[in-house]
Amino acid sequence: MDPAIPSGSPGNDGEELCAVWMNYFDAGLKCGRPLHNAPVGTDSVPVCLMHSNDPGKQSGPLFVEFWRQFEIILGDSGVGPAHCERFVFPRVDLRGRTINAFCQFVKATFTQEADLSGATFTQDPQFSGATFVKRAVFSKTNFPKGATFSSATFTDVADFREANFDGTGYFLLTTFVQDAYFRETNFNRDVLFLGANFTMTADFYKAVFTGDSSFTGANFMKKANFVETTFLQTSTWRGAQFLEDAEFRRTKFSPAIAGQPGAIFALSAFAKPGSIIFDDVDLSRALFHNCLVSEVWFTSSVRWGTRHRDRRGNLGAMVFEEVIALDQEYGKDLQRDGERDYRAIAQIYQQLKKNYDARLDYWTGNEFHFGEMEMQRLSRTPKDASPVRGVGRTATSVWSLSTVGPVTTATVTGSR
């Protein structure tokens, strides 16, 4: 078959035509383009030029013909669907282009470098299940209506530096085999990285998340960089796994709505907790329940919530689990028999006390010790709700012996 023959209009009659299934968003269609005369063994079944693995597409007449047909598809689509499902792309150079069609690259394969830097997709392109064999460049690319990369695989470097997502970004179950760069990327709506796999460095330096962001169940197998990253709504890391080091330095968790959690690390797993660093970060609205934090590195510049009671003034550091509204989505985990699970919160305080004591920051450790004792008291039944033995003395010692110098938790608790 002469590859220069125009592709024609796809249809349902697959006889002697390309029978690859397309049109994922409607009833389903077969490609219907003329079959390409590829070298023997190139394709498992005869397909058209657009779906062929013919290496001759990488240059010369076949390369030119491929892109001629692609431009016809874009032109005929207008602002409607441009069906490119399962296409096998040669080298892609769409730098700076404005693409108005609703591009459907579902399960497409990009065999060479795909450079879409500075491009603008006026619709929300669909890259679900796509495979990028070589470097994928989306730096400064604009997605006014968002984009979908769910279940896509980036075998080489994925570069989204300074990209703009004005609509929702979907990266569910996306796999990044090499470094993934989202440095200074703007996510102006919600973004979902649920179950995403970052095999190498995940770099979100100075990225801005204006909407809710979810890394639920994500796997960070190497370095995770969230230095100077800004989260303006709730960021969820529930069940995420950090297998190497992660840096949250000068990271801003600052949701605008009062009482809304800023960061949710519940059920997150830290394989090397000493390599997880929170530095100069406000964690006053962070949730760490069901998460082991006794060895995570919280520097002295980390800011926790503050407990106040009546005329006694500041009673020390407080975790957000103690005050989050139980009717909130993320507060329901903290309920037991319809009441706040004070024992679970006491475990968090116990771990934080151990954390700070191990680094000889006894003063902060004592503040968390007081929180632990207070949660134990509140977990008791009303008839047993008198202060736990040692709590009163702990409070007095911590808050009035400021001139004594370092005081260990054991020293403050005293004999029983």
Q: Which residues pair with 93 in a beta bridge?
A: 115
Q: Where are the domains of the chain?
A: 1-80, 81-340
Q: What 8-state DSSP symbol labels residue 195?
A: T
More confident position, 390 or 365: 365
The radius of gyration computed from the CA coordinates of the chain, to the nearest angstrom, equals 28
Amino acid at position 151, single letter: S
Average pLDDT over residues 177-185: 98
Residue pLDDT, tens place only, 344-369: 999 999 999 999 999 999 999 999 99
* Cα–Cα nearest to 138, from 166, 122, 158: 158
Global pTM reads 0.86
Confidence (pLDDT) at 281: 97
Mean pLDDT score of the chain: 87
Q: How many residues does the chain have?
A: 416
Token output for 35: 């079959």
Q: Is 401 helix (H, G, I), strand (E, B) or coil?
A: coil
Burial-class residue 186 by CB neighbours within 10 Å (0-12, 13-18, 19+): middle
Cβ neighbours for 359, distance < 8 A, ≥ 6 positions apart: none
CB atoms near residue 45 (< 10 Å):
9
Query: How many Å is the maximal CA-CA distance in the chain?
Result: 92
* Cα–Cα nearest to 355, from 300, 283, 416: 300
Is the distance from CB of 346 to CB of 375 less than 8 angstroms?
yes
Residue pLDDT, tens place only, 210-238: 999 999 999 999 999 999 999 999 999 99
Torsion angle in degrees (nearest 10) through CA of 82, 86, 91, 97 = 20
Residue pLDDT, tens place only, 234-284: 999 999 999 999 999 999 999 878 889 999 999 999 999 999 999 999 999
Helix axes 362-378, 391-400, angle to 10 degrees: 150
CB atoms near residue 34 (< 10 Å):
18
Alpha carbons 232 and 234: distance in angstroms, whole number: 7
Q: Is 6 helix (H, G, I), strand (E, B) or coil?
A: coil
Q: What 8-state DSSP symbol labels residue 327?
A: T
CB atoms near residue 168 (< 10 Å):
19
